[in-house]
Structure 1
């Protein structure tokens, strides 16, 4: 690449408007500095060496194996993760023609920078400054690949495209389906201090990993699919004894439909007062969300349940149609009720009781996960053992599972899993 070509690419990159944030990462800044140095008639070897060393270190620290080449993987990841008027407009379905046209103009500039792969850059450096030859190992990810996520799929399509100027609609479609910025990269979040914090390694549980309770899960699956389709859907309350798979069901649903644009946001019960703020944040985004509140219940002296009641149904500002609340509870009516509540010192005792019990009624879908009987408990044990490939005669497995259940706290799906965990560890120790 000639000096004037390098200088021209730097100038055009400086003129980016929509994708200006893509150049804000340390590796991108180092790359532009390197191109500027190499465009000189006599580049200084010390300056070039310092910038290349910083670029190499930055790429090694920001490992994102979307593609085999470290620079190309980092740069494409930055494009996909950048929240800008184009990506956010595509996500919400409000993309003016001017933004689409500007994206068509800027994407070829980004493609020019993308084309400078790690090997090409080092070859360019060695061509200009032979004394620096052999100083750096090309950074590549031989293992890049495996299961292809939507983010990896769009990265590969862009990498193979001959002209990015014609890929504006392709990129907009990705943002519309998967979300922009962190929504496109992560599938699970926690709500903390007024913001969405990504969960980098969420629980990988899948629906096919869950044994039994298929009938209980079916209405939740249907409700989630309606949410994704933009059809009327319900807030859902899952209640039953501990260990029956309520929380695992919600997390498995989020994993199953993540590729369809579903995102899970975990909200701790103690932060329920921030629920209106969270809903307002999600209202501005184009994705579909499940707000997950685990182990929801209230003591008789707590009043925060009134905020939840109002938001579910009755508030002036209802929750957005793209957001549904899925809560789990060990208590069917959510608010503790005592016999003392029925005493006659309250003039309107019936109204007081109904006011407490009406919270559960605000959930349009209520699903009971009953404690397993012996047949269902053994079904779970046998299913988990098969899934893990544990070889043991069925009668011996049955006897040991029943003995475990008698010596441990109650019969549940969790008890079954703990038994199989211990069994697997014991078999592998032999």
Structure 2
């Protein structure tokens, strides 16, 4: 096939898209199609070609820097566009799997994937050279492969690039199974989200830099964490799972435990929505945003507590149990708090002039009771604190005599934030800095 025939096939296919029609407007793909249109004109404008290619070059190089990609940039950008696109095929696949995809939908998906495969093999630089005899700086090879160049690509999305190497008959099932495991749209692009309000409307926004903490980094509290892990695994398997309250002193690793769950199980379809105190009036909207998705969501309330005069806690209480609207089966609530009962109590609560003061007090205390599982993270004693210090020192390979390290760790706890896993980590980080000087 000649270059011009290939360009014509690309433009013809773009005009016939039904499912993936939004892809042609995505950065990078938009510029490639624009260059193809210009090259097929009787008198192509070099100015237009240079302008479009300059934009394309910038898009691909920024992608390389952000994602740590040093080769196959064009195919990777195209792969991401397919991975994140929301359409009838991707949404049905995410929620129900390939077996729910009807024959007519599978056929249309196949035709469009064939076109996308053709597009993935288009050599823009070579086409410009052949049609208008202009040499353009190639975007490939601009970023060398070395470990510290960037954060690296998400593993599942990295595997999806092999979609373009599969036989046509395999492509639809392969992509459908990808959507089922990893989601599509914003839920395929990110693993964690926050609620953002603009004007009178709100929406979920992906969090780009998620705390990378893993369970391997968390020393101690093994039994407490195992309770949370077991509940999460049941949730992912579609078995009965409870809402969880992680209660305990500051710095004991409650929040890190929940965030480590996301990093451990995001590849199995787990996602997390951070719900802040100011988001309480939108709690039902947040739930509606995830209700009909095929993924599993933890609604994460970090450092949850309410002042005496606040009534927002009633929204959460009704969602947890007892309200008309229940949590959907693909969502659970995980909360951390330094307060066992979540709502502040005062001495006057025990000496109130209200006729039914006991009822008022019981209502305040009932929020914590709505969580099916409560896991307590207590401040470690000296032995447990030093075990954490020792475990972290071994993990980071600190070459320090244990007796010296032990003495310094105890002093650090006395001078700073007491004995806690957080304090132990801060001490080890301080020692790593001292030894590296």
Question: What range describes the TM-score normalised by the shorter chain of this pair?
Answer: over 0.9
Q: Which residue of 2 aligns with 1:385?
A: 393
Distance, in Å, in 2 between the alignment partners of 1:179 and 1:147 is 16
Matched, 1:404 2:404: no
2:77 equivalent in structure 1: 74
User: Are 1:8 and 2:16 an aligned pair?
Assistant: no
- Bigger CA drift: 252-261 or 38-47? 38-47
Aligned to 1:178: 182
Residue pairs, 1:164-313, within 5 angstroms? 164-193=168-197, 194-313=202-321
**Aligned residue number for residue 113 of structure 1:** 119
Question: Which consecutive residues of structure 1, in runs of 5 or more, have no partner in the other structure?
Answer: none
Q: 1:328 to 1:426 in 2, by over 3 A?
A: same
Q: What's the counterpart of residue 403 of structure 2? A: 395
Tell me the distance in 1 between the aligned counterparts of 2:153 and 2:13. 36
Bigger CA drift: 50-59 or 398-407?
50-59
Q: Which residue of 1 aligns with 2:60?
A: 59
Q: Distance in 1 between matches of 2:218 and 2:78?
A: 38
Distance 1:65 1:170, change over 3 A: farther
Of 83, 87, 91, which residue of structure 2 is paired with 1:84?
A: 87
Counterpart in the other structure of 2:145: 143
The separation in 2 between residues aligned to 1:149 and 1:385, in whole angstroms, is 29
TM-score (norm 2): 0.92
Q: Distance in 2 between matches of 1:165 and 1:30?
A: 29
Report SS of the residue matched to 1:367. strand
The residue number in structure 2 matching 1:100 is 106
Gaps of 5+ in 2: none
Q: Is the 8 A contact 1:66 1:144 kept in 2?
A: no
**C-alpha distance after superposition, 1:220-276 (max 9, x if no partner):** 000000110011101100000100000000000111001111011111122122111
Q: State the SS of the aligned residue for 1:167.
A: helix
Give SS of 2:24's match: helix
Write out per-residue CA displacement over residues 57-102 of structure 1, whole angstroms, 9 at most, x where no aligned residue: 3323444556722211111111111111211121111544332221
Alignment correspondent of 2:164: 159
RMSD: 1.9
Q: After superposition, what is the alpha-carbon deviation per residue over 1:164-214, rounded to whole angstroms, capped at 9, x for unaligned?
A: 453111111111111101211211111222211111111000011100000
Q: Is the 8 A contact 2:3 2:127 kept in 1?
A: no
Contact 1:151 1:185 in 2 (8 A): no
Deviations 1:29-69 (A, max 9, x none): 22112222333455444443333333223323444556722
SS of match in other structure, 1:22: helix
Q: Distance in 2 between matches of 1:137 and 1:343?
A: 78
Deviates more, 1:273-282 or 1:211-220: 273-282
For residues 25 and 56 of structure 1, the distance between their equivalents in structure 2, rounded to whole angstroms, comes to: 14
Moved more, 243-252 or 47-56: 47-56
